[in-house]
Amino acid sequence: ACSTKEESAARTVGRYPVPNKKDMPYDIVELMEEVEMKTGFLPNVFKAMSHRPAEFRAFFAYYNAIMNKDTGRLSKADKELIIVATSAVNRCPYCVVAHGALHRIYSKQPALADQVIVNWKLADLSDRDLAMLEFALAVCRADNITEEHFQKLERHGFDREDAWDIGMISAFFAMSNRIAHYIDLRPNKEFYTMGRTP
Amino acid sequence: ACSTKEESAARTVGRYPVPNKKDMPYDIVELMEEVEMKTGFLPNVFKAMSHRPAEFRAFFAYYNAIMNKDTGRLSKADKELIIVATSAVNRCPYCVVAHGALHRIYSKQPALADQVIVNWKLADLSDRDLAMLEFALAVCRADNITEEHFQKLERHGFDREDAWDIGMISAFFAMSNRIAHYIDLRPNKEFYTMGRTP
Amino acid sequence: ACSTKEESAARTVGRYPVPNKKDMPYDIVELMEEVEMKTGFLPNVFKAMSHRPAEFRAFFAYYNAIMNKDTGRLSKADKELIIVATSAVNRCPYCVVAHGALHRIYSKQPALADQVIVNWKLADLSDRDLAMLEFALAVCRADNITEEHFQKLERHGFDREDAWDIGMISAFFAMSNRIAHYIDLRPNKEFYTMGRTP
Amino acid sequence: ACSTKEESAARTVGRYPVPNKKDMPYDIVELMEEVEMKTGFLPNVFKAMSHRPAEFRAFFAYYNAIMNKDTGRLSKADKELIIVATSAVNRCPYCVVAHGALHRIYSKQPALADQVIVNWKLADLSDRDLAMLEFALAVCRADNITEEHFQKLERHGFDREDAWDIGMISAFFAMSNRIAHYIDLRPNKEFYTMGRTP
Amino acid sequence: ACSTKEESAARTVGRYPVPNKKDMPYDIVELMEEVEMKTGFLPNVFKAMSHRPAEFRAFFAYYNAIMNKDTGRLSKADKELIIVATSAVNRCPYCVVAHGALHRIYSKQPALADQVIVNWKLADLSDRDLAMLEFALAVCRADNITEEHFQKLERHGFDREDAWDIGMISAFFAMSNRIAHYIDLRPNKEFYTMGRTP
Amino acid sequence: ACSTKEESAARTVGRYPVPNKKDMPYDIVELMEEVEMKTGFLPNVFKAMSHRPAEFRAFFAYYNAIMNKDTGRLSKADKELIIVATSAVNRCPYCVVAHGALHRIYSKQPALADQVIVNWKLADLSDRDLAMLEFALAVCRADNITEEHFQKLERHGFDREDAWDIGMISAFFAMSNRIAHYIDLRPNKEFYTMGRTP
């Protein structure tokens, strides 16, 4: 009965079948349960990627290496803001909605992600945050990145290591947005309302 | 003397400093030496990524999971063709030149990558290969991917697992091309001539 | 004291000064008070447009003629959906956020506007609603409108009078979005949360 | 006989039926007769909009409020030039041809509108007129409008009220061009030759 | 005195100096006088190109080979229509205005070129002429030209030799428009009014 | 037997039939034999254009007037570089591959054309060569060419006559690329490997 219910849930995640928990490798089940405990529900990206265990491991190891590292000047809210702004360019429903929610929670600014989704240049952002997004969006568009890009970041307190961090998050989500498109990944309904009321 | 020479080489790799081998973690040195043995030289992407050991590991683990897996209908030449076609859209010097070389070697067709770089629709490709690149380029552009995209692939013998493989390679190089842009990664000179004569 | 407070509020509306209520023509004050009563606050577009009383009257008379008419097949939620989808293309913060709120209220579907803002083709819409937005967006982009456009609408139950209604709303907000851009009109903070919880 | 002839004329105006004069509201007939008297023929936009009397009134009231007001630095020829330049971007046959004719008449420069239609930056315009069109076209494209846009206008003698006038005309014709597209409105043949000879 | 007047005229032709007639090669003077006799004035393109006699000869020899040949299904008006439509895409003041005038004269349809300049798809053209322009514009945009393009032309009575003629005129004016841009070539004032009255 | 073999070769050149040598005008045969002697093979463009003898003569006379003139600061390698960079924008297989080969031979830099094809701004070019290509590409895109364009060239040692030379080559290949597209002209296989090894 349980597996039937899980299969039915799987149908709403995207195009590819999601294995039953009992057929998944143990490390993947463990990670999923840890995330579900912490978040209160299991974000659909975990279900969808479990279709390919080796790629599941590679994807989340990469994600952790760049999102959960302690070094650098980017706050958790900064990182989520980069994801929201670049994923909006790629029109990715999952990444915009899920990371919009995470941004609201980390930044405690419930309207900012919505503003960035519509028009980042008109959002209520500091000059520092605008410079950060300008660099992230240049990477997102696969622009040539020149010394001028780095100098502009430096004028707002970001050194070259920070530039790498901004660029890597933008590049990683250039990948994630495209995976989400061919998987047809959609956000869990919980994300729409998370963090809207302080 | 040796380290001085290495630092000087590093300056040609890109924007970020490359550590001396003696300062690198052992597993990274080991992988580099294995690649250098097999290829005859060390491709610059290994040097450039060693600036961030954790991301080095994540990047190449992901690369291996999708490029060196044994399942699916994509040949080694198919995979390189996808990389060449999508990296040309993103105007990535490293990926186009390095994977153009690998395509020549795997496909034993020395002119095909050059044709795809200029105009993939006019290249001497089978209908199957055109369908494969059409899907890869839709993912590359972050297009919405619809059932029609999958059906078109199916008409040329690619099932949904193959579609995932094509999409994932395109998505991974959407990331790699963008990393290469902000690192200013350039191809080793050896790549330009590899595989041109049968 | 009251006027000082009003002037200060005016500064957040946009680029142009907003007159004190006592200096406004009586019909404009009356309309504003009626709207404020019904909505619970005065949407910034009323303040901003009061800078030019003759244009205020023309703008809202036009708005009423197309938004509050009783004929045709478009529901109130349909009209708001057209405004959200087309204003998202024009990256208009005011219109997207304010009419996204109105859509949530009229449709009682709290997530749909957010989906349409990110990627209307992937939103949870009926074929009828997709056809309606496809026409609205063709008008929004100033595409040539052909007989095929009308025939496609007809296949989803919209006759030529409905096409006019869809086109006119899209055209009117092509104007409104552009006015909002040069006025630098921003949404009242109330709009962000309206209608999110059923 | 007369009504048959009128219906036949209606067919050349656009996609929607034009009512017989005897079935039109009196105020609309009156306005039409006044315009026909002054112009020598009835421009097709009046016929086409009469299909919807309430919208006819709203449209022409708005038009009068912005085109026939006495304040501001914009001459009649300036206003027509803005309409020609922005309507050319939207490829609107009616607006380009009809307002090109009006520009020739008001400016007494018979070649200027033709130049602006092809390439406004290469037209024989003063720096002031180029600055005016640059602002109008930024609004036309729904660009973000920044302080720099206003400062550039100020350097050519336009204050913020003039900027509103320029922006509003551009925005109103963003609407008109789109209405003309879905109505399939075409210029009266008289417009092509009006004002060509001094 | 005569040469002074000519030099002054040269200043209005474009960026490059025009030699005095007495310093020009005899064959170029002869061609100019023949054209001036036939047209009533000397079109500026002849003056501008005389700055480089060898290129003058090559340019007009090529022009004659494609514009004045007797074979094929393209009438003189067809050829001018192709030039107007493609030069409008390249926003070339000289070619649009001069060949718009020639089209009016050859076609005896004084409004058609003006319609094509604004929006060729909405111009009063036969299906045959639309197909001709569709092919010319595909060549103009440097699109890949496929068998489908040729088949579409064939359905409107154009064989492959006609396709070559259409394509060659479009390609030649792709060159001419670009030359006109860097020379800053402007139309003689006579062209604006030629052929407007039957 | 010989003519059969020639006809079969013709089929690989493009869409249009190539006449047998014995049916060609003598001057065209002579030119072909001279080129074949010098190059070692007959480039396909000569075969393809021989379908239209008058246009063959006009095309190559023009080509010679601009490519083989002795005046000006552009070296043979400079001219080929302009052709490679602009033909890459137009995705022309013949021109990119054939002139890439000629560039390798004249410049003795075997990797540079490949770099320019992928991303000219990241190629190993001097500031002078970047300025030259920037101008050539502005002409290629049919941009308006302003005094600033000429001043930028002058800062790198190019006077207005050099600007004409750069612009004319770019314009001529704007034409050639488009002819190649509708003819479906493909490079001889010899071009792919010419000049790769010093």
Does residue B198 sit in helix, strand or coil?
coil
CATH architecture of A22-68: Up-down Bundle (1.20)
Sign of CA dihedral F6, F11, F12, F14: positive
Q: Which of A118, A122, A192 sits opposite C111 (nearest CB)?
A: A192
Would you state the pLDDT for residue E13?
78
Residues E151-195 have pLDDT tens digits of 999 999 999 999 999 999 999 999 999 999 999 999 999 999 999
The mean pLDDT of D60-64, rounded to a whole number, is 98
**What's chain D's average pLDDT?**
94
CA–CA min distance A145, chain F (Å)? 10
Measured CA to CA, the distance from residue E11 to residue D103 in angstroms comes to: 28
DSSP A52-78: SHHHHHHHHHHHHHHHS---SS--HHH
User: Which residues in chain F have their CB less than 8 angstroms from residue D121's CB?
Assistant: 144
Mutate to test the interface with D, among E117, E125, E183, E194 (most CBs of D within 10 A): E117
Contact in structure between F95 and F173 (CB atoms under 8 Å): yes
The pLDDT-based confidence of D14 (bands split at 50, 70, 90) is: confident
Would you state the pLDDT for residue D198?
67
Would you state the pLDDT for residue A6?
46
Residue with tokens 């991917």: B145
Would you state the pLDDT for residue C16?
96
Residues E114-160 have pLDDT tens digits of 999 999 999 999 999 999 999 999 999 999 999 999 999 999 999 99
Mutate to test the interface with E, among D83, D96, D114 (most CBs of E within 10 A): D114
The pLDDT-based confidence of D94 (bands split at 50, 70, 90) is: very high
Q: Give the burial class of A107: count Cβ atoms within 10 A of its Cβ; 0-12 exposed, 13-18 middle, 19 or more buried.
A: middle
User: Rounded to the nearest 10 degrees, what angle do helices C127-140 and C160-183 cross at?
Assistant: 50
Q: What is the mean pLDDT of each run of 10 residues along chain A (198 residues)?
A: 44 82 95 96 97 98 96 97 98 98 98 98 98 98 98 98 98 98 97 91
- The tokens for A52 are 């390919």
The mean pLDDT of F120-128, rounded to a whole number, is 98
Measured CA to CA, the distance from residue E88 to residue E117 in angstroms comes to: 6
- The tokens for A122 are 């008109």
Give span(s): CATH 1.20.1290.10, chain D. Answer: 76-192
Give yes or no for residue D110 having a pLDDT over 70.
yes
**Contact flag F118-B88 (C-beta cutoff 8 Å):** yes
Q: Give the burial class of A193: count Cβ atoms within 10 A of its Cβ; 0-12 exposed, 13-18 middle, 19 or more buried.
A: middle
Does residue D40 sit in helix, strand or coil?
coil
DSSP D64-104: HHHHS---SS--HHHHHHHHHHHHHHTT-HHHHHHHHHHHH
- The tokens for F80 are 């080929």
Question: Where does chain B have alpha helices with state H?
Answer: 2-13, 26-39, 44-49, 53-67, 76-89, 93-107, 112-119, 127-140, 147-154, 160-183
Does residue C11 sit in helix, strand or coil?
helix
Give span(s): CATH 1.20.5.810, chain C. Answer: 22-68
Q: What is the DSSP letter of E12?
A: T
**What's chain F's average pLDDT?**
94
pLDDT over 70 percentage in chain D:
93
CA nearest E116: which of F181, A152, D93?
A: D93
For residue F184, count other CB atoms closer than 10 A to its CB.
18
Give chain C's end-to-end CA distance (angstroms, integer).
39
- The tokens for D153 are 């206008």
Measured CA to CA, the distance from residue B48 to residue B183 in angstroms comes to: 8
Give yes or no for residue C133 having a pLDDT over 60.
yes
Give yes or no for residue D141 having a pLDDT over 90.
yes
Would you state the pLDDT for residue E167?
98
Contact in structure between B118 and F96 (CB atoms under 8 Å): yes
Kindly identify which residue of chain E lies nearest to residue B120, measuring between CA atoms: E144
Q: Say whether pTM exceeds 0.80.
A: yes
Would you state the pLDDT for residue F98?
98
**What's chain B's average pLDDT?**
94
Which residues does D contribute to its contact with E (CB < 8 Å)? 88, 91-93, 96-97, 110-111, 114-115, 117-119, 122-123, 184, 186, 189, 192-193, 196-197
Chains adjacent to F (≥3 CB pairs closer than 8 angstroms): A, B, D, E
Contact in structure between C173 and C87 (CB atoms under 8 Å): yes
The mean pLDDT of E23-47, rounded to a whole number, is 96
Would you state the pLDDT for residue C13?
78
User: Residues in chain B, how many?
Assistant: 198
Contact in structure between E161 and E152 (CB atoms under 8 Å): no
Residues E49-63 have pLDDT tens digits of 999 999 999 999 999
User: Which residues in chain B have their CB less than 8 angstroms from residue F91's CB?
Assistant: 118-119, 122
Would you state the pLDDT for residue A198?
67
Give yes or no for residue F2 having a pLDDT over 90.
no
Residues C34-93 have pLDDT tens digits of 999 999 999 999 999 999 999 999 999 999 999 999 899 999 999 999 999 999 999 999
Size of interface C-D (CB pairs under 8 A): 115
Would you state the pLDDT for residue B8?
47
Q: What is the DSSP letter of A23?
A: G
The mean pLDDT of C132-142, rounded to a whole number, is 98
Give yes or no for residue E11 having a pLDDT over 50.
no
Residue with tokens 């034409």: F175
Would you state the pLDDT for residue A14?
86
Residues F37-73 have pLDDT tens digits of 999 999 999 999 999 999 999 999 999 999 999 899 9
Counting CB pairs under 8 A, whether chains C and A reach 3 or more, is yes
Low-confidence ranges of chain B (pLDDT < 50): 1-12
User: Which residues in chain D have their CB less than 8 angstroms from residue A119's CB?
Assistant: 144
From the CA atom positions of chain A, what is the Rg in Å?
Answer: 17
What interface predicted TM-score (ipTM) does this complex get?
Answer: 0.94
DSSP E145-196: P-HHHHHHHHTTT--HHHHHHHHHHHHHHHHHHHHHHHHT----GGGGTTT-
- The tokens for F116 are 């320019």
pLDDT over 70 percentage in chain C:
93
Could you tell me the maximum CA-CA distance found in chain D, to the nearest angstrom? 60
Residue type, A130: L
Give yes or no for residue F131 having a pLDDT over 80.
yes
For residue A111, count other CB atoms closer than 10 A to its CB.
17
Element (H, E) at C128: helix C127-140
Instruction: Indicate the CATH number for domain F76-192.
Output: 1.20.1290.10
CA nearest B98: which of B63, B142, B127, B133?
A: B63
Give yes or no for residue E7 having a pLDDT over 80.
no
Give whole-number Cα distances, D130 to A62, A88, D152, in Å: 52, 34, 11
Would you state the pLDDT for residue B198?
67
User: Which residues in chain E have their CB less than 8 angstroms from residue B133's CB?
Assistant: none
**Contact flag D192-E118 (C-beta cutoff 8 Å):** no
The mean pLDDT of D98-119, rounded to a whole number, is 98
CA nearest F183: which of F39, F61, F12, F63?
A: F12
User: Rounded to the nearest 10 degrees, what angle do helices B53-67 and A53-67 cross at?
Assistant: 160
Q: What is the DSSP letter of E111?
A: T
